[in-house]
Amino acid sequence: MAKKKADSLVIGGQVISPGERANIEIPVAPTYTHDTLAISVQVVRGKLPGPRLFVCAAIHGDEINGVEIIRRLLKNPLVEKLKGTLIAIPIVNIYGFIHHTRYLPDGRDLNRTFPGSPRGSLTGRIADTFMREIVANATHGIDLHTGARHRSNFPQIRADLDDPETLAITEAFGAPLAINAKIRDGSLRQCASELGVPVILYESCEALRFDEIYIRAGEQGIINVMRHLGMLRKRRGQSKPPVISQGSSWLRAPESGVLRVLVPLGAEISKGQVIGFIADPLGTREVDVVAQHAGIVIGRTNLPLVYEGDALFHVASISPKAEWEVSEFHEALEPSEEEIDPADLSSAPIAG
Ligand SMILES: [Zn+2]
């Protein structure tokens, strides 16, 4: 396979030669109405050989922040100058994307179905197609995700940080936080790594929403990785390495009611800190939501109506020695008044 990777590149039956930029449609099962569907791929192949990086989004069909990250990446003039190959797949789960849902029409989660099978269910077939057409042609990968519906994630990398190459890409990306995530069975990360293709996962924002700063962080992170891999010219000054977390847990609602949140995403919290409260609608009773351990708020619910036991805050543990500082990260990416399109303004909260 190594030799094949060095020479020819064929995706969706189309040959992409050095110096070529091609849009490719990989057909998948049509809709009931027999309308054809295809996964759109853009391949940018530099004149000079180098790594082959795939970047994909919307494996969960409602996680659209990454779709915008890839759209901007492909418009970035830097991409014209790359060594090696960028394989961009903005929408992997097109069925879910059309219907604003995480899943496929057969009810399965694509990111638990890899490597799939050519004779399996619809989801299994898409996983199989993705492995054969994309992963088998790549040397590295970045998979873009968001939180679920009504849940925002602070920008973070999830990856197998015990693997030195994966750790190096994670450090290059420049997200503030990385979680050493055990590989989930049936995930793209797991199956790609079994083929020797290290993959990192960038989590940010909420399903069905855009977040301007997190989109910028994602695009910049991919460019940072391309510089690290030698696909783009290196710049002086490296990305700030992320604070690494070895684990995380959800803090659940102590009772049902209306939630008020007292800390932003990205906040460092201490054990015993009151980070929210839950009230009944008449305001006669208020119950504190108390942090069970110290850490960083990397995810939270945006829906203030909660049942007892609902997951409220996702808290990542970090070493007490780690220095947590995110204001620089936000300031560097903050759009100016002229730059921002009001339509891009997000509803997602930003850590102060
Ligand atoms: Zn996801």
In order of start, what are the domains of the chain with their CATH numbers? 2-243 (3.40.630.10), 249-317 (2.40.50.100)
Residue 267 CA to ligand 1 center (angstroms) comes to 22
Q: What's the mean pLDDT in 177-206? A: 94
Residue 18 CA to ligand 1 center (angstroms) comes to 33
Q: Which residues of 151-181 are buried (b: 16+ CB within 10 A; e: fewer)?
A: bbbbbbbbbbbeeeebbebbbbbbbbbbbbb
Residue 157 CA to ligand 1 center (angstroms) comes to 12
Across the strands, what pairs with 277? 260, 288
Residue 178 CA to ligand 1 center (angstroms) comes to 16
Residue 324 CA to ligand 1 center (angstroms) comes to 25
Spatial distance between the Cα atoms of 213 and 329, rounded to a whole number of angstroms? 9
Q: Is 212 left (phi over 0), alpha (psi -120 to 50) or beta?
A: alpha
Residue 146 CA to ligand 1 center (angstroms) comes to 6
Give me 199's structure tokens. Answer: 């993959």
pLDDT for res 3: 47
- Residue 69: closest CA among 171, 151, 148, 143: 143
Band the pLDDT of 120: cuts 50, 70, 90.
Answer: very high
Residue 64 CA to ligand 1 center (angstroms) comes to 10
pLDDT for res 351: 55
Band the pLDDT of 70: cuts 50, 70, 90.
Answer: very high
Band the pLDDT of 297: cuts 50, 70, 90.
Answer: very high
Spatial distance between the Cα atoms of 7 and 49, rounded to a whole number of angstroms? 9
Across the strands, what pairs with 243? 177
Residue 100 CA to ligand 1 center (angstroms) comes to 13
Statement: residue 102 has pLDDT above 70: yes
Residue 201 CA to ligand 1 center (angstroms) comes to 9
pLDDT for res 235: 86
Residue 269 CA to ligand 1 center (angstroms) comes to 25
Q: What is the 3-state secondary structure (H, E, C) of the chain?
A: CHHHHHCCCEECCEECCCCCEEEEEEEECCCCCCCCEEEEEEEEECCCCCCEEEEEECCCCCCCHHHHHHHHHHHCHHHHHCCCEEEEECCCCHHHHHHCCCCCCCCCCHHHCCCCCCCCCHHHHHHHHHHHHCHHHCCEEEEEECCCCCEEEEEEEEECCCCHHHHHHHHHHCCCEEEECCCCCCCHHHHHHHCCCCEEEEEEECCCCCCHHHHHHHHHHHHHHHHHCCCCCCCCCCCCCCEEECEEEEEECCCCEEEEECCCCCCEECCCCEEEEEECCCCCCEEEEECCCCEEEEEEECCCEECCCCEEEEEEECCCCCCCCCHHHHHHHCCCCCCCCHHHCCCCCCCC
Q: What percent of the chain clears pLDDT 70, i.e. is strictly above it?
A: 95
Residue 143 CA to ligand 1 center (angstroms) comes to 9
Statement: residue 252 has pLDDT above 90: yes
Q: What percent of the chain clears pLDDT 90, i.e. is strictly above it?
A: 86
Residue 63 CA to ligand 1 center (angstroms) comes to 6
Residue 6 CA to ligand 1 center (angstroms) comes to 31
Residue 109 CA to ligand 1 center (angstroms) comes to 9
Residue 272 CA to ligand 1 center (angstroms) comes to 31
Band the pLDDT of 283: cuts 50, 70, 90.
Answer: confident
pLDDT for res 42: 98
For residue range 132-148, what is the model confidence (pLDDT) as tens digits? Answer: 999 999 999 999 999 99
Statement: residue 183 has pLDDT above 80: no
Across the strands, what pairs with 297? 315
Give me 33's structure tokens. Answer: 């109405």
Lowest mean pLDDT among 4-13, 23-32, 122-131, 281-290: 4-13
Residue 171 CA to ligand 1 center (angstroms) comes to 21
pLDDT for res 238: 74
Band the pLDDT of 337: cuts 50, 70, 90.
Answer: confident
Statement: residue 349 has pLDDT above 90: no
pLDDT for res 39: 98
For the chain, the average pLDDT equals 93
Statement: residue 343 has pLDDT above 60: no
Residue 243 CA to ligand 1 center (angstroms) comes to 22
Give me 303's structure tokens. Answer: 């829906």
Band the pLDDT of 184: cuts 50, 70, 90.
Answer: confident
Residue 249 CA to ligand 1 center (angstroms) comes to 17
